[in-house]
């Protein structure tokens, strides 16, 4: 258990460091063609820093068994006031949902940039802030769903007391949890469906499908437009647009592989009343890796950031402009044996 906590906190620290470094590069090393897109890039890094800090402070785990898929924070492991653990737990789950909206709006923005400046010409920054506001609204909506539908119940209390807490010599007062419990069992052994969890899962599934549909449709349109207008842009612009696009694609694949796919499998098997503990342990680890790994595509694909990394590591000397001095002018000679100044 201690090894897992250390592993998670180490990745949380890397998440803060990598995203803070990326923000520095976004501010000081971005090509001028990025424009206000830098705001969106910085926003996702700030989001991931906050996610990493919350991970570090709470170190949540995921318990999956039969029809339950629960996010649990043990008070002894958390560096957080006990009175705020419920808020922290719901926030952890809400940020998970909010991440899907974040990478969707990036594709929406890139599409608007590609199909024509008329969509972004007026009040450009306000439109960027509007897209950011959409992700915050999604996060708030996810929070409401978590609070109403995925809060503790007496049936979930009974389940985790017997299956999770007792083997660890813990009690309900030692933990805080939220999550889905799709099939409850009453005192007579009869099972019935928990419709609160079912309805909430349907709402989440719709949100997930909308996000993925937006990403796929916008991504295909962006790629098609880039190929059709390849000859209309300068090689520099085409190169930068390509760097942004592929960095964005990889930054979308990372959370899908590390967060949404493992958690989605866990939810599916829980809904079918067939889940096992391993289906909770996998996303409990990979979710911590997401903020630390997500900046890497930008570091390695965007050229100016890659060069900044090499300079930081001492593998590449920064380019310095050399100003000719009086002595250097004396050794610069034209074919006639005169200095440039003399040859005028």
Phi first, then psi: give them for residue 26, nearest 5 degrees.
Answer: -60, -40
DSSP 171-209: -GGGEEEEEEE-EEE-TTS-EEE-HHHHHHHHHHHHHHH
Topology given in CATH for the domain delimited by 1-308: Rhopdopsin 7-helix transmembrane proteins (1.20.1070)
pLDDT of residue 230: 66
Residues in the chain: 344
Residue 279 tokens read as 């289906």
For residue range 239-255, list pLDDT tens digits in order.
887 888 888 888 888 98
Contacts of 121 (CB under 8 A, 6+ apart): none
Contacts of 117 (CB under 8 A, 6+ apart): none
pLDDT of residue 212: 86
Q: Tokens 């349109």 sit at which residue? A: 221
Would you tell me how many other CB atoms lie within 10 Å of the CB of residue 209?
A: 11
Residue 293 tokens read as 């790994």
* Angle at CA of residue 297, ends 295 and 301, nearest 5°: 130
Residue 229 tokens read as 């207008």
Indicate the domain borders of the chain. 1-308
pLDDT of residue 26: 93
Q: Cα-Cα-Cα-Cα dihedral of 149, 150, 155, 160, to 10°?
A: 180
Query: What is the distance between the alpha carbons of residues 170 and 168, in angstroms, rounded to a whole number?
Result: 5
Sequential pLDDT tens for the chain (344 residues): 788 899 999 999 999 999 999 999 999 998 887 877 888 889 999 999 999 999 999 999 999 999 999 999 999 999 988 889 999 999 998 888 888 888 888 888 878 777 755 655 566 777 788 888 999 998 898 888 888 888 888 999 999 999 999 999 999 999 999 999 999 888 787 889 999 888 888 888 888 888 888 888 988 888 888 777 766 666 777 788 788 888 888 888 898 899 889 998 998 999 999 999 999 999 999 999 999 999 999 999 999 999 999 888 877 665 543 434 443 334 334 444 444 434 44
CA–chain centroid gap for 229, Å, is 30
Evaluate the CA torsion angle 95, 101, 107, 113 in order and state its sign: negative
CA–chain centroid gap for 258, Å, is 10
Per-residue burial over 66-76, b = 16 or more CB atoms within 10 Å of its CB, e = otherwise: bbbbbbbbbee
Residue 65 tokens read as 């068994």
Phi first, then psi: give them for residue 73, nearest 5 degrees.
Answer: -115, 120
294 three-class SS:
coil
Query: What is the distance between the alpha carbons of residues 147 and 194, in angstroms, rounded to a whole number?
Result: 15
- In Å, what is the CA distance from 144 to each residue of 35, 50, 87, 207, 294? 35, 20, 12, 14, 27
For residue range 331-342, list pLDDT tens digits in order.
334 444 444 434
Query: What is the distance between the alpha carbons of residues 192 and 184, in angstroms, rounded to a whole number?
Result: 5
């Amino acid at each position: 258990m201690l090894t897992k906590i250390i592993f998670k906190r180490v990745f949380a620290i890397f998440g803060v460091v990598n995203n803070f470094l990326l923000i520095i590069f976004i501010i000081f090393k971005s090509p001028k063609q990025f424009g206000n897109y830098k705001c969106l890039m910085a926003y996702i890094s700030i989001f991931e820093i906050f996610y990493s800090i919350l991970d570090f402070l709470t170190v949540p785990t995921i318990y999956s068994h039969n029809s339950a898929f629960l996010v649990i924070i043990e008070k002894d492991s958390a560096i957080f006031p006990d009175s705020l653990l419920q808020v922290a737990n719901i926030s952890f789950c809400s940020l998970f949902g909010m991440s899907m909206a974040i990478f969707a709006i990036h594709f929406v923005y890139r599409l608007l940039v590609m199909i024509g400046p008329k969509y972004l010409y007026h009040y450009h920054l306000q439109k960027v802030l509007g897209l950011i506001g959409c992700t915050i609204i999604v996060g708030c909506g996810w929070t409401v769903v978590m609070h109403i539908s995925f809060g503790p119940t007496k049936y979930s209390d009974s389940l985790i007391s017997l299956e999770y807490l007792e083997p660890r010599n813990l009690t309900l007062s030692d933990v805080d949890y939220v999550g889905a419990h799709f099939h409850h069992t009453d005192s007579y052994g009869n099972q019935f469906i928990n419709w609160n969890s079912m309805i909430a899962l349907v709402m989440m599934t719709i949100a997930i499908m909308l996000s993925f549909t937006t990403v796929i449709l916008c991504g295909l349109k962006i790629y098609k437009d880039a190929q059709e207008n390849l000859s209309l842009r300068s090689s520099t612009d085409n190169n930068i647009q390509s760097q942004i696009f592929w960095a964005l694609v990889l930054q979308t694949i990372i959370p899908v592989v590390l967060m949404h796919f493992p958690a989605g499998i866990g939810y599916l098997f829980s809904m079918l009343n067939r889940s096992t503990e391993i289906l909770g342990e996998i996303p409990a680890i990979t979710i911590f890796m997401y903020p630390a790994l997500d900046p890497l595509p930008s570091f390695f694909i965007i050229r100016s950031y890659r060069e900044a990394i090499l300079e930081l590591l001492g593998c590449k000397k920064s380019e310095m402009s050399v100003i000719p001095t009086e002595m250097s002018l004396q050794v610069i000679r034209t074919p006639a044996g005169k200095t440039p100044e003399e040859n005028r």
